[in-house]
Chain A
Amino acid sequence: MKITKFIVILIAVSLLTSCAGKREINDLAIVLAVGIDKGEKQKFKVTVEVVRASDARGQTGSPAGNAGDPMWIASAEGDSIFEAIRNISTYSSRRVFWAHNYVIVVNEELAEKEGIKDIIDFFTRNPELRMRTWIVATPDKAGEVVSTQTGLEVIPGEALSKLFRYNPISAVSPRTQIRDVHTAYLSESSDPIMARVKLQERVVPNKADGGGGGGEKPPGGEEKGKGEPSIKQIEMSGTTVFKKDKMVGTLSKKETRGLLPFIENVGTAIIPLTCPGKEKEKITVEVKKNKVEVLPFIKDNAPFYKINLSLTTNVVEANCDFDIDDRKMIDEIERNLEKKYKGYIKSALEKGQKEYKADIFELGKTFENKYPEKWKSFRENWDEKYAAAKFDINVKAEVQSGVLLYTPTQPGSRGK
Chain B
Amino acid sequence: MKEKITNGMLIALIINMIYPKSIGVSQGVMAREIGSDIWLATIFSCVQALIIMAIVVTIVKNLPKEPVFTGKLKLFINGLKRLIYILLFIFFIVAFGDIMLIFVYHLRDYFLPEAPVWVFVLLGTLIGMYAIFHGIEVSGRLALLGVIFVVLFNILLLLGSLKQFDIRELQPIFNSGVGKTYWASRHMLTDWAAPIMVTIILISDVNKIEFVRKSTIIGVLFATGIMVIWPILEVGVLSAEITAQFIVSCMQMARNAEIGLFIHRYEMIMVAFFSFSIFTQIITTLYCASYSAKKIFNLDDYRKMIIPSAIILSGYSLWLLKDHHHAMHITENQRVTVGLSLLFIVPLLFFILGFIYKWKSSKTA
Min CB distance, A124 to chain B, in Å? 8
List chain A residues, Cβ under 8 A from B175. 372
Q: Does A182 contact B (CB under 8 A)?
A: yes
Q: Does B238 contact A (CB under 8 A)?
A: yes
A130 touching B111, Cβ below 8 Å: no
Min CB distance, A11 to chain B, in Å? 6
Can you name the residue of chain B whose Cβ is closest to the Cβ of A132? B258
Checking A8, A127, A179, A368 against B256 with a beta-carbon cut-off of 8 angstroms, the contacting residue is A179
Given contacts A132-B256, A372-B172, contact A12 B115 (CB under 8 A): no
B255 touching A21, Cβ below 8 Å: no
Can you name the residue of chain B whose Cβ is closest to the Cβ of A16? B123
Q: Does A187 contact B (CB under 8 A)?
A: yes
A357-380 contacts to B (CB < 8 Å):
362, 365-366, 368-370, 372
The size class of the interface chain B forms with chain A is: 20 to 34
B264 touching A127, Cβ below 8 Å: no
If over half of A's interface residues share one DSSP class (helix, strand or loop), that class is named, otherwise mixed; here it is helix
Can you name the residue of chain B whose Cβ is closest to the Cβ of A372? B172
List chain B residues, Cβ under 8 A from A127. 109-111, 113, 255
Checking A21, A182, A369, A370 against B242 with a beta-carbon cut-off of 8 angstroms, the contacting residue is A182
B168 touching A366, Cβ below 8 Å: yes
- Per-residue CB contact flags for chain A residues 320-339 toward chain B (1 = under 8 Å, else 0) read 00000000000000000000
- Per-residue CB contact flags for chain A residues 273-308 toward chain B (1 = under 8 Å, else 0) read 000000000000000000000000000000000000
Q: How far is the CA of A165 from the CA of B265 in the complex (A)?
A: 17
List chain B residues, Cβ under 8 A from A131. 252, 255-256
Q: How far is the CA of A16 from the CA of B115 in the complex (A)?
A: 12
* Count of A-B residue pairs with CB < 8 Å: 61
Q: How far is the CA of A288 from the CA of B241 in the complex (A)?
A: 33
Q: How far is the CA of A219 from the CA of B70 in the complex (A)?
A: 98
B265 touching A21, Cβ below 8 Å: no
Q: How far is the CA of A110 from the CA of B239 in the complex (A)?
A: 27
- Per-residue CB contact flags for chain A residues 121-141 toward chain B (1 = under 8 Å, else 0) read 000100100111000000000
Given contacts A8-B126, A20-B112, A368-B172, contact A187 B241 (CB under 8 A): yes
Given contacts A8-B126, A12-B126, contact A183 B119 (CB under 8 A): no
Can you name the residue of chain B whose Cβ is closest to the Cβ of A20? B115
Interface residues in chain B, defined as those with a beta carbon under 8 Å from any beta carbon in chain A = 109-116, 119, 122-123, 126, 130, 168, 171-172, 175, 238-239, 241-242, 245, 252, 255-256, 258, 261, 264-265
22 inter-chain pairs at a CB distance below 8 angstroms, sorted by A residue, are A8-B126, A8-B130, A11-B126, A15-B122, A16-B123, A20-B112, A21-B111, A21-B112, A21-B113, A21-B114, A99-B265, A124-B245, A127-B110, A130-B255, A130-B265, A132-B256, A165-B261, A179-B242, A183-B239, A186-B239, A186-B242, A372-B175
Given contacts A11-B126, A369-B171, 10 further A-B contacts (CB under 8 A): A8-B126, A20-B112, A127-B113, A130-B255, A130-B265, A131-B255, A183-B238, A186-B239, A187-B241, A365-B168
